[in-house]
């Protein structure tokens, strides 16, 4: 599930970056290529219409956490983003039972990393302990373990770590402690590419941002099939590859 780029993206929320001009047409072209790559990898892409008055709305990942059994509509840490929820909720209703994070909890989907039955939640400026508590209650009977993880120096947990397989994570150890995610193997980003840990794993392929070729080489050297994707304009809005989609298995209508 993806959404078109808002013409207002230049007014996006920023936490760790200085504001600079964003070329909307280039951003749309890069986003279109991202969607094409997902289709080429076998995904059925449900493209939602852009939200002209919601600058950050292309970053659909932050608005929901989609598990096999349930989708959780988040309560974004930035108040300006809470208007994004209604359209995502409507789009997900045919696919999943829905639950919600309620006030006063705040949660961005970019702070949620799901690795098999482990759910890690980044404790950041956008997500808090109350959301962790609520998430634990929502999945209590589904076999998941939910753990809050301290994040430093970056926007979201998935700025610092993402999965490249069921047991291997790509990590920037300056932004998160590997010891907080026990039981996994780690590949470290190249130290000159601090923002390279955000990748998208689809099937047997890992998509990485084209601006981080050294980290891409580390993944290839580790035996992963990799594919670079240009997301340089989206990065100016503190966006990354995982931010631009909600990827999940379609429900089996014959079950």
Write out the catalytic residue numbers. Answer: 156, 243
Strands 71-73 and 64-66, bridge-based pairing:
antiparallel
CA distance 249 to 23: 33
* Other Cβ atoms within 10 Å of 173 Cβ, number: 15
Phi and psi at 130, nearest 5°, equal -65, -40
CA distance 224 to 173: 20
Strands 47-48 and 64-66, bridge-based pairing:
unpaired
CA distance 127 to 192: 28
How wide is the angle at C-alpha 181 spanned by C-alphas 14 and 85, nearest 5°?
A: 40
Phi and psi at 179, nearest 5°, equal -65, -20
User: For 78, how many CA atoms within 13 A lie in the half-sphere containing its CB?
Assistant: 19
The answer to whether 66 and 58 have CB atoms below 8 angstroms apart is no
How many residues are listed for the chain in this entry?
255
Helices (H) and strands (E) counted in the chain, each on its own, are: 6, 14
The answer to whether 29 and 57 have CB atoms below 8 angstroms apart is no
């Amino acid at each position: 599930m993806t959404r078109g780029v808002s013409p207002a993206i230049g007014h996006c929320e920023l936490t760790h970056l200085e504001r600079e001009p964003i070329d909307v047409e280039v951003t749309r072209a890069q986003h279109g290529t991202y969607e094409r790559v997902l289709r080429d990898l076998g995904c059925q892409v449900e493209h939602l219409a852009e939200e002209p008055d919601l600058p950050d709305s292309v970053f659909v990942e932050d608005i929901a956490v989609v598990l096999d059994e349930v989708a959780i509509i988040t309560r974004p840490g930035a108040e300006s983003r809470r208007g994004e929820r209604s359209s995502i909720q409507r789009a997900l209703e045919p696919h999943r039972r829905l639950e919600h994070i309620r006030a006063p909890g705040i949660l961005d989907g970019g702070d949620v990393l799901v690795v098999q039955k482990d759910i890690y939640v980044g404790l950041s400026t956008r997500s808090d302990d109350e959301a962790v508590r609520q998430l634990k209650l929502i999945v209590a009977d589904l076999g998941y373990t939910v753990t809050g993880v301290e994040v430093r120096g970056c926007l979201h947990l998935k700025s610092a770590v993402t999965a490249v397989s069921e047991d291997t994570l790509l990590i920037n150890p300056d932004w998160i402690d590997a010891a907080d995610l026990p039981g996994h193997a780690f590949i470290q980003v190249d130290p000159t590419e601090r923002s390279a840990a955000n990748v998208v794993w689809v099937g047997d392929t890992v998509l990485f941002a084209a601006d981080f070729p050294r980290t891409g080489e580390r993944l290839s050297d580790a035996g992963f099939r990799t594919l670079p994707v240009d997301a340089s304009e989206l990065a100016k809005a503190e966006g990354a590859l995982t931010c631009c989609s909600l990827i999940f298995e379609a429900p089996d209508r014959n079950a």
